[in-house]
Each structure stands twice: as C-alpha cells, then as structure tokens.
Amino acid sequence: MHPATTLLRDIADLTTEFERHLGRQLTVNPTDLEAMDHLIREGALSPTELANRLHITTAAVTTVVDRLVAVGHVSREANPRDRRGVLVVPAPESVRRAMSTLMPMILGMDDVLSDFNDAEKDTITSYLSRVVAVYRAQLPSKPADSA
C-alpha cells in the first residue's frame, strides 16, 4: 500500500475525530452536528430534506430539530411554498460559532496549497479527482435527491 493511500486513510480518521471535537464545541451529538453541517452549507432545509441527507426517518428528524431548537441552534419557520411544510433555519450566532472552529481548518488547508506551484496544484487536484472517481465506481450509485 502506497504511503499516499495510507495518508488518505489517516485523513479520514482525523476528519471523524475533528467532527467529535466540533460536536463538543456546539454541545450536540453526532447526528445533530451533521444536521447543522448541512444547514450551514446549504441554508434552510425542510425536515424531509434533512431526513434524506442524514439517512434517518422524518420522525427522527422531528426530535433532532426539537433538540437543536432547545439549545437555540435553529428555529422552525413556516414554508411559504407549502402550508404543510416547515423550514429549519440555522441561527446566525450558531453558524458563527461553528465557523470559528471551521475556518482555521479551511484556511490551513488552503494555506498548504499555497506552497505548491500551479503544476503541482494541478497534480494534486487531478489525483484527488481520480480518488473520488474510484470511490464512486465502487459504490452502488446514489441518484440525486432533492426532495
């Protein structure tokens, strides 16, 4: 096994550990953190959309949102397009708090790249793209969900 392949594995493990760390910062469990992650990256989502992304039922999402509302990380708002629907909106202050832990990481990642020239950056990007392709090839295709 090539060193790079091993490093990729290390990064995966470190990512998991970082998520535990971030969860502690926001005092939420792993599922609730993942919900926040989606809300931060995609903006307000409906419970159904969250359920698809988290791979849990909408019943479970109801309790996820209950917990997040209780600690002030999100609010439930009416969906203007569908009177049955609900929109789960992330609280700006919570987004800010998450960002304060996330940004050093992201900046650190980008900073690593600044030490490589353009050709090297292309090599790295090309490598990572191909790794993604290998993953996708091995996985049973997951069609787009937008529910």
Chain residues binding its own copies by CB under 8 A are: 1-5, 7-8, 10-12, 14-15, 17-18, 20-21, 55, 101, 104-106, 108-113, 115-116, 120-121, 123-125, 127-132, 134-140, 142
The residue type of 65 is: V
Q: How far is the CB of 25 from its own copies (least distance, A)?
A: 11
143, interface contact from DNA, its own copies, none, CB < 5-8 Å by kind: none
Looking only at residues 67 through 86 of this chain, which bind DNA when binding is defined by CB under 7 A? 67, 76, 79, 82-86
DSSP string, 79-138: -TT-TT-EEEEE-HHHHHHHHHHHHHHHHHHHHHHHTS-HHHHHHHHHHHHHHHHHHHHH
Exactly one of 56, 89, 95, 102 binds DNA (CB under 7 A); which one? 56
Dist CA 140 CA 89 (whole Å): 32
Dist CA 90 CA 111 (whole Å): 29
Interface contacts to DNA, rule CB under 7 A: 29, 31, 46-48, 55-67, 76, 79, 82-86, 147
